[in-house]
Amino acid sequence: MNEQYDVIIVGAGPAGLTAAIYASRADLKVLIIEAEVNGGKLSKTYEIENYPGIKSISGLELATQLTEHGQKFGAKLISGEVLEIGENEGKKEVRLKNGDVYLSKAVVVATGTKERTLDLPHADEFTGRGISYCAVCDGFFYRNRNIAIIGGGNSALEEALYLASLAAKVTIIVRRDVFRADATVVDKVKANEKIEIITKHLPEELVIENDRIVGLKIRNVESGEVSTVDCAGIFPYIGADPCTSFVDPSILDERGYILANADMSTAIPGIYAAGDCIRKDLRQVVTACNDGAIAANSIAKVLKE
């Protein structure tokens, strides 16, 4: 049995790290557990322009600053994958994949979401060598080449702007004839001469030659006509699903998002949730930080009472 904590936070994204700041400042003993990259999706985002007080900052820089801030007041950060949250003599028992077990008085689940993968034949085979889910990570490999982006939300358009600075041409493929992104981002994309927008189309088939992706066949959703976009790289931004496989199903909705109250508590006493993994309308860095602050404050209040 490992150390015991007042609060264990699962996830070191904006929600989890903000919760760590507030909880440790409330003189609580805090453990943060992150399965992948500290900072969450921030570390994969090229630029942030809607975080209050900061006009523009790279996602990696903001992730680094939040990670450092999250530990400033004594919170401990470790790497590990949580398999289960159970009960042990009135405390929460957090079990990790490596066999480690931690106890705490409360748990904050702040695991965010994971990008949906492209559902086409051979897509898994070419992930990392023609298909990428991280423009910042892999954009350099497609310098001066043609790139296709699938999706019409903020992530797709923001990454299209970044990739346009590297690629010869960027083609955005959108299922509908409208974008789900912010108007300012849409305007920037439309004004960029290196970006072409194709609406009312869906990806149909990878075009592969000599074991390399050379294009993407797309289908018109109205006529059914199939055409080909020449590209060396494909970046899908087609939505995401909550990372909540280890969470008790009784506090999840039909899509797997956690049902959290206004104070970020759930129907299971001692289990709180924050950030993109909860059911809500707006998923942004600032709303994730808001959730984390509320969760930590709620826990501190309960424990002190």
Q: Which structural domains are found in the chain, ordered by start?
A: 4-114+240-304 (3.50.50.60), 117-236 (3.50.50.60)
Comparison of pLDDT for 3 and 40, the residue scoring more: 40
Comparison of pLDDT for 178 and 21, the residue scoring more: 21
Predicted confidence at residue 296, as pLDDT, reads 98
Per-residue pLDDT of 202-239, as tens digits, reads: 999 999 999 999 999 999 999 999 999 999 999 999 98
Report the C-alpha gap between 200 and 222 in whole angstroms: 7
Share of the chain above pLDDT 70, in %: 99
Per-residue pLDDT of 154-163, as tens digits, reads: 999 999 999 9
Mean of all residue pLDDT scores within the chain: 95
2 pLDDT tier (thresholds 50, 70, 90): low
Comparison of pLDDT for 30 and 180, the residue scoring more: 30
Identify residue 58 by its one-letter amino acid code: S
The CA distances from residue 260 to 7, 133, 250, in Å, are 17, 29, 12
Look at residue 134 and tell me whether its pLDDT is greater than 60: yes
Identify residue 251 by its one-letter amino acid code: I
Look at residue 136 and tell me whether its pLDDT is greater than 90: no
Quote the distance between the C-alpha of residue 202 and its chain's center.
Answer: 23
Contact 204, 220 (CB under 8 A): no
Report the C-alpha gap between 303 and 28 in whole angstroms: 9
Per-residue pLDDT of 46-91, as tens digits, reads: 888 889 999 999 999 999 999 999 999 999 999 999 999 999 989 9
Predicted confidence at residue 219, as pLDDT, reads 98
Contact 146, 232 (CB under 8 A): yes
Predicted confidence at residue 3, as pLDDT, reads 81
Active site residues: 134, 137-138
Per-residue pLDDT of 291-303, as tens digits, reads: 999 999 999 999 9
Per-residue pLDDT of 96-126, as tens digits, reads: 999 999 999 999 999 999 999 999 999 999 9
Q: Spell out the long-range contacts of 116-119 with Cβ–Cβ below 8 A and sequence spacing 24 or more.
A: 116/236, 116/238, 116/239, 116/240, 116/241, 117/236, 118/150, 118/203, 118/234, 118/236, 118/238
Look at residue 1 and tell me whether its pLDDT is greater than 60: no
Report the C-alpha gap between 258 and 250 in whole angstroms: 9
